[in-house]
Structure formats: structure tokens, C-alpha cells
Structure 1
Amino acid sequence: MADPASYRPAPGSVPAQPGVYRFRDPEGRVLYVGKAKSLRARLANYFQDERGLSPRIRQMVYTASRVEWVVVGSEVEALTLEYSWIKEFEPRFNVVFRDNKSYPYLAISLSEEFPRVWITREKHRPGTRYFGPYTKVWAIRETLDNILTAFPMRSCTKGQFNQAQRAGRPCLFGYIGKCTAPCVGRIGPEQHRETALQIIDFLEGDTSGIIRERKKEMMDAAGAEEFERAARLRDEVSALETAGERNVVVFDENLDADIFGLEADELEASVQVFFVRGGRIRGQRGWVTEQVGGMANGEIVAELLLQVYGAQDYDAVDPARAESKAIDDRKHTRTDAIPSQIWLPELPSDVSQIENWLRQRRGDRPVHLKVPQRGNKAQLSQTVHENAVQALQRHKLARASDLTVRSQALEELREGLELDRAPLRIECYDISHTQGHQQVGSMVVFEDGLSKKADYRHFIVRGPEGNGVPDDTAAMDEVLRRRLSRLVQGAAGDDAGGAEDEPAEDQLEGSGQVSGAPRRFAYRPDLLVVDGGLPQVNAAQRVVDELDADVRVIGLAKRLEEVWVPGDVFPVIFPRTSPALRLLQQLRDESHRFAITFHRKKRGQAMTRSVLDQIAGLGPAKQKALLKHFGSVSKIRAASIDDLMEAPGIGPALAATISQALHTPKE
């Protein structure tokens, strides 16, 4: 039996997102399938003290040799995928979902005089609309309960309906407001059918309009102090939001498709494939390939299709052998056969040639390459892409956590850059902006080859006049001066005074600490890395020389992954598979991510600001009252002082201030 500690994933490598996980034995057989709202929290439970595990789970974790997971978009999707995989793999340690039943549907009988809504597993009949399938009876019952809260209509059987007609008394649902009681004549056939059609529109259309309308009615009722009606509308909104939650893992149509997700950097590409057969995800496969530098995504996709579908195990030439039947009784193409549709993140340049080749491989049956653009298919494609991103991150983290590889990378940097010692502390800088606006910089720190997020820093680029700087080189100059000046002055002794150089907006990632925290720039870096070529490196070196900081500077040019050293005419070229180059790339990518995240935050804050924010004495509540009263800033600007005073909370003095501020020309 395997020790669970031998295959326990690093906590940082497991995403804190909804997903489905599988434990496998040394032969690759699936032992257990489970779902989680947070994969990180759920998987941690399996590797606790064995005395806290049930006997069944304890036996499972000691029998397994590895655990793998797939990220999905919501808990509903996780539930659906868990159901499909338990049906598909029949894991020995799962004790649920083994009823071997078909999927339940929500049905609406439009062929009756008074349409009825109910839950069924029966085959589809004419005159009835079916929605689903749903993965568990309790889930579909909850959906039906939510729908009846917002759209009361008949859900009883024909016998119950006839009995209520004879008795002249409705059932319980008629009394609690979940049925309009057509059995006793409270509503006519036309009105009742209209309610049924509204439910159909809600289930198959865009739910946002209906929900938005109910929310507006709720706010109006609350404003009119009709609190009971507002509470009822609030419950209806909540019910509609729950009922309208999309499930992109299960498709109603008999769909056969392979869905590819791709995430690539300069050296590697992560590929994920979901095999959808008969409208269900029947399998999943993923791998990371190397040496893709310089290739566009379309080129990578073309190579991928040729390698995947050119393999001998794709036996789709014989159509008679290409069909299979799953445990849910839905006929579908086998997962090792070429399907009729292949969804890709990007189409290759030679689409027609590849489709013709796949057609021949599939036994002269058509194969269509598509890029989903909208709806559930696009959402599922995004889910597959998210899994490719997670897989590449796990691959990089596993490689970075290897002590031997890290040591080799640092030693290669020492030799290639002719350093006195291996650079144990490396800082990397990047600049982000939108056409010169909201300029920000980032500093990320790696110590001993691993990221040290507690030392990450943000910088707001101000420039001499406080309005930013003209280009990235000037922005990098300012960022490095602010960082290296602290280093030269003696960061350990001056940390308490660092706040005036870095505003409170510059924060540490994850920790929530603000600028001026202890040990701000306490350690001298062995190496500074800037994103760019020789001009950026020389500009950074000028700052180092002027401040006499005694720090080595290099630059990493993205196009050819060249390492530039100040003053050298030719760059240092590391092999494409070099651990040193991978470490520098990881630094560069992390600094870019950190910078662009902060830039987007600043840009979002700037976009939400209003000219009203600059008026003294006009707080958020009064701004809201003004906008509600007039409708827009332009109408407020056109209003007179007397008109402004008609808005709630606006007195004569504040109205005069507002009018003067909005009519004063800007410099």
C-alpha cells in the first residue's frame, strides 16, 4: 500500500476553485471520484491524520498512488461531472450514484388544457417540452420549487386535478401561492398557458432581463415601504437566480465533440482535452509539451491535431466499431474515435486540408473544426482552457520546487553572467499602463529560486509633475530610483520613513500590508532583472551607477528570449531548455502578471470616478440622490440652483457650490 504522503500534492498547487477529483491506483484505475466547492480545502481533508478518516476513505487513500483534478465553473458543473464519471468509471470506493437510472428532466405538458410542470425520467412524448437533464432528484426538485415560487402554475397529476375540481377545494400549493389553482377556477386556461410559456421562455432564454425586472419591482416596493411585497419579490429573485444557473457540463443534444484547451508560453504548451460523447463528458486527457518557442497558437493547434488524430489508437475508420453505449444507455462515439466536431481555441491556417484529412481518417465522414463563440459551448471551452492553465502552473510549480533543478538554474546563471556567487535573491521589474495612463510598476522577488510574495511591491509612477512619465524607460528609471535609494540609505534603519515615498495604495500581494511595513527593502538583491532589451538595461544601469547601488542588472528580451548585459554588444544566449532561462522567464511572467493586475485595479478605480467626486461636501449619498433625481451628470450641469435644491438633501449653499463647480472651466 502506498503512503499518502508520497503522492500528496503541494497545497499551493491545488486551486481553490470548484472541481472534480479522481484517486487512481498504480495501474491507473479510478478508485474514487468526488466533487468539491474548493479543491484545495477538500483534498487537504484526505491527507490529514488517518485516525480522522472513515475506514473506507482510509483504505482508499492508502490504496491510491496519485490524485488528479479538473476545474469547472460552478458547483452545479462539478456535481454533473462527478455524476458522469461515477457512471463511466464505476469506482469501487464510491457508494452514491449507483442506481443505474437515466437522467431526470423537467417537463411541461403543453398538450393539456391546463399545462402541467413535473419531474420525469420517461421517454420524450409529443406535445411536451423537456428541460435538462439534471443530475440528482433533489437538485431538480429545488429548481422546480424555485420556478413555482416565481411562476405559480399547476404541478399536480391528472387524478389530483380532477379530485380538486370535484371537491371545489385546491391542494396545498394553491393555498401557499405556488399554484394559481385553475382546478377551482381562480384562473382561466389562457392565463394559465401564458404562465407556462413564461416558464419555457425563462428556462430556454436569457434570464437576466426577467431577474432585472423583478429587482426593479423589489426596489420600488421597498421605496414605497411595501416591505411584505418587497420581501416576496426578493425571494422570487433569489429563486430565479438559483433556477437560472447554467450547467455547461451536460448538453441536451446528442453531441459528440473533442474540446481542446491550450495555454502556451515561450517554451512550453499545456494541452487539455475533454471528450464529450452523447452530450456527456466521458473522459479527459492532458499533457505538457516542450520546445514550442516562436510558434503561434494556430501552428501549435495544427501540430497537435496531426499528432493526436494521426495516432494508431484512434480507430474510427470502421464506422461499425466506432459506436459505444454507456451505462446511462446513451449511444455515442467512443472516446478513442474521431468525433464529428472538434472545438479548438484557435483555427489553424490550413483548416480545409486538416478537415479533409480527418474525414479520411474517420471513414469518409465529415469532421468540423470550430471555435465556440457564445453560449454553453463557449463556457465549456473556457472551462477546458482553465484546466490547461492550471496544468501548466502545476507543471511549473513542480519543476520550481525541485531543489536540484533550482540549484542548477542558479548555478547556470552564475556561470553565464560571470557572477561571483549564485544569485540567491533576484528582483524583477515591469511597467504596465494604458496608452500612458495609470502607469504602475511591479517588483517581484525570488529567493533561492522560489517566489517570496511577502516582498512583492507595487509602484505608482508619478513623474516630475505628478502626471506620469512619457515612456516605459522613464517609468523604469523612477521605479528603480525609489527602490535603490532606500537600499543605499540603509533600508533596515529607514523602513519607518518609507511611507512618504510609496503611497498607501502600494501593497503587498496577499498579506494586505501597506507601504511602510517593517523590512520594506531590507535585503540587497544579487541580481536585478528588467523586462526589455539593451536600451532598458542601459537605462537601469545608469540609475544603479548614479546611486552607487552596486547591484548587477540584466534584461530579458521577450521576442528571442535573449539575456542582455549592460555595455555588451551581444546578448547572452541560454539554451531553450536551460533551467536558468526557465527561471528568468518565470520571474518575467510573474512581474508582468503582478504589474498588470495592479494596473487593472487602478484603471477600474479611475473609470468609476465621476466629476461629482471633486465637489466638496458632496458625498456618495447625495451624489446618488442627485443622479436619481436628474438622471445624468449632463442634466445636473444644465440645472439651475433652484432646480438643484429640489433634490433630497441639497440645500442652498451646496446647490451653489455644485453649480459653480460644474460650470467652472477646467485648466
Structure 2
Amino acid sequence: MQQLKEKIKKLPDQPGVYQYFDAQGRLLYIGKAKSLKKRVKSYFRFTPFAPAPNLSPRIYKMVNEIKNLEYIVVSSENDALILENSLIKQLKPKYNILLRDDKTYPYIYVDFAEDFPRLKITRKVLAGKKVKYFGPFPSAAKDIVDSIYEIFPLVQKESCIKGKKACLFYQMQKCLAPCEGKISKEEYRKILDEAIAHIHNKKLLLQKLEQKMLALSAQLRFEEAAQIRDRIDKIRAIEFQSEIDFAKLQDIDVYAIASDKTQAAIVRMFMREGKVVASSSNIVRIDEYKGFDKEEAYKRVLLEFYTTQTPLTASLIVVAEDFEAREELENFLSQKFNKKITIVHPKRGEKRRLADIAQLNAKEILAKSKPKSDIEEQLQNLLDLNSKPYRIEVFDNSHISGSIPVGAMIVYENGAFDKKSYRHYNLHAQDEYAQMKELLTHRCESFAKNPPPDMWLIDGGETLRRLAQDIAQSFGVSIDVIAIAKEKIDAKAHRAKGKAKDLIYTQNGVLRLLPTDKRLQFLQKLRDEAHRFAITFHRKQRSKKAKELELLKISGIGEAKIRKLLNYFGSFENIRLASEEELSDVLNKKDAKNIKKSLN
């Protein structure tokens, strides 16, 4: 402790980021400071050396575990804020709050610099002074744009104007053929303005869609009517706040957080031109031992949303509760977006009503999302994990005698498989150990974009478990690593039906559970899903390779020509389906004839 005390006394009076570690070298907490010296000293008293008495119970518990300190000096407080946020995502410290909803939301936009502008979708800021954004839309952006094109005769495709000739859309009365000058810019602008009004007022949009759906049904075009119905449902899903309409208020982003001992609900509402156009929410599971700091949560939520290259169309951000870093974030966002951004915690008036509505929704979402199972707590107790495994990543690889090796990662979070987070990898290593090393290294290299989970589950034995643990530690991350493997009897895996005697490998040794044990069955379910995903991808790659070899057998068709065909057609299947004429456009008539003859 004397060494830690001396280190604190020698800290510089400069902005930077500090990291606390426990006796085992595990990362406890990352924080940023305007003055490292003053900030870190505030956690301690020095006679005797102990945690400061004014700390919250959560931070007091953390300070008791601190045995070492490291720090990074930066040039400004803003740099410290960015570095702190980046390191928290990559390293997943024990006592920091880690949010995973850091994806960029789509915006609908129009570039009025174009003669006949179209509605398009983007997730980033675009060049151009006359670009106007609508949103963000956490969901249904594409459905809104498709609906607008269904109802209004705008330029339907990017290529339409370039074609200089009226196309099928004109014949279908879905476009007024500005390419042939059949509509003036002024007349087109009136239609565009009406379309934009329907983005703001989705009740009008939904009414028009319902009329369209009924008309299609009356014509017995049920499949098309069903597509419109599904689109209506998606747009309506983001309209549960549509009754809010404040004429005085313009563009405002609203944030609220509600929490209990086990989880927190985060709600975002986006008001544009006096109307709430969309909202989003997500649940953060809380480890009771670590606690939950709502002030830090507000800071993380705002940083995650606005540090991406997203268009910030609002100049006012309303938060349901005040937090320490509010003014600091105001300055940071104002500099980042080069305009005055204000973050307010209103006490009364219309803005307070907005905050209360967001807070009420957060409480309702929290009440409805109680965990259905306590399997995470059971696994934590059984496997002696550092935290409850709310998010688990499972890894497996697949190959045939070392050929066409592939890797797979599946994700289980909050009681369900998160299929959007599944990933597969083409590997190069020949043996299983090297393949797993390559696979896990790929995953660790993506921590900056996709933060580490609570637990890794490896399909393999102790050797692969230890490998995974070493790789995670080499990237500065402490993850609970578990492996599961089939028990071997006389060097053969024992997998008789109904007698799946799998072994669980932990940092404390091997566990043998009865085949009927629900915890074992849960881990087997995760492993089997990873195996299914890996095998499916391997078969796909094998089929692709077989088609490639089939082409290579054709006289005069070498790798260079195959690459040329793939660059043009995109896949081996498209090459197989292409006509002789299409193939000759890429290569020559002789090669095209040989390919069609051999493939047929």
C-alpha cells in the first residue's frame, strides 16, 4: 500500500486517464480527470491511508480492492474523455458501466442541391450544404422510405435520371419522368414537400398505406397487401409516443434511465419540429455486487450515441436526471459538431413534461423485462465466475483434415441467442490449436468496436481454455473462460444418445455433472449452436471451393480468369447461371462456350 500511496503523491497536475488494478492485476476501473493529481487523491485519505469517507458504497468497495495504479497523460480534457470511453469499451473494467447499444441509427435525408432530389438513407454525416436529415429512426427507416415511394411519384431509382428516357416506373404511374422533362423542378418540389410532410406526420402516412392495402386486397393481390400490412406494423411500432406535440419545441433529444437492483432501462426519444418522430430503448443487466451508477450511465449513454459520425440535428438534449459531467459533455459536443449544444435537466414546464414521459416509459420497460430464468446466477455459483454471464460468446471451428478451416462465434444474451451478433471467419491455420488461436485473436482485435462479453465458452478441453484465457489477458481484458468437451473413454468421445457425458473445464479444475443437470444442458445447447453455425459455414465454403475446382478443370480457364468472372458476377452460382453471351462479355466467345459446355 505504501507503493500505491507514493505513486498517488507523484501524479502530475495534468489531464489524463487513470486505471485501477487489484492484487491479481485485474482492471477494476478507468476514469478521466482534468487534473490526475486532484482527481485520484479525492478517492483516498492519507492519515491513515484508506478510502475517503465521503465515497458512495459502490466506489468505497472498489477503492478497498485497489492495489496498483497506472495513468496516461493527454493534452486536453476532451482527449481524456474520448480515451476513457474508448478504453472502457475495449478493456471492460470491473466497476465501469459497459453499454452495448452503440450502433449508429439510420437517418432519412434529401440533398436539395440535386435537380430532382430523392429520399435516401444514411448513417453518417454527408458532404453538402443543402442536405437535410430526418430522424434518427432506430427502426423502420427503410419502411418509411419505401412507403413514400409507394405513394408519391418521385424519382424511384438513382439510375432513372441518368437514363434520360422514361422507364417502366413512368408506365406504372410511379414516376412523372423528369428524365424526359415531363415535370418541372417546381412541380416536382411540391410533390417532394408533401412527401416530407408525411415523414413528419406518420398518421397521414399510415392512413394512405391502409387505403393502399385495402385497394390491393380488393384486387385480390393479397401478397402485396400483406407486404403493406407488415410495413404499417413496423412504422406504427415507433409511433407509441405520437400524441406528444409541442408547437413551441423544435428539435430535441430526450434521455431517461430507470433502474432496480438487477437491471436498468435506457430510453431515448427524438423530437423533430415539435413531434416525437421515433424512440428507442435497451436493457442493461446489473451485477448486484458491482452496483449501478446512474450518473456514469447518463455520461456513457450520451458519449456512445454522439461520438459516432452521426448527424446531430438537435441542438438541445434533455435529461430526466442531472449528472456531474453534464456541462463537460456540453462543451465536448459543441466542439465536436461545431455548434452550440445544450444539455438541460428541466425542473418544470414543457421540457420537464417530455423528461417525465421518457422516465415513465423507462419504468414501464423495466417492469416488463424481468429475467425469465436465473441461469446466469446458477452458472456464476457453479463455475466461480467473477460476474454473472449475461452475455456469452461461444467459439468453435470446423475443417476436414485441416482443409478449408473456418471459425464461428455465436452470442447468447439476456435469455436468447443474439443472431445479429453471430460471426464467422475464414482461417488459415492447419491444426485446431492454431485455428482457435487465430479465431480468438480476430475477436480480441475487434474489442474497440464490439466490447468483450462476460464469458467465453470454448468447444474444447483445458488446453484450449487456457489458450483463450492467455489471449484475452494479452489484450488486457479479464474474461471468465470456460470450455466444454466430450468425455473420452479409451481415446474415443462418449456421445451415446441420452448419455452426453461432457466435461466442463474451469479455472478451478474439471466439473462432471449428471446428463440431466440443467446447467450442463444449457452449456451443451450453447456449444451445439456454435457447432451448427460453424458446420453450416464450412459446408458453404466447401461448396464454393468445389465449384472453383470445377472451373479450374476446364481447359484454358485459369485463376486469373476465375477472379475476373467472380468480380463481375459476384459468386460461382451466378457464373453457373450466366448465359454464354454474358460470359463472353467478360472473357471471350471461346472461353464462354467451354465454360457452358463443361458446366452443363
User: TM-score, length-normalised on structure 2?
Assistant: 0.30
Q: Which has the higher contact order (CA 8 A, sep 6+)?
A: 2
User: TM-score, length-normalised on structure 1?
Assistant: 0.28
Max radius of gyration: which structure? Answer: 1
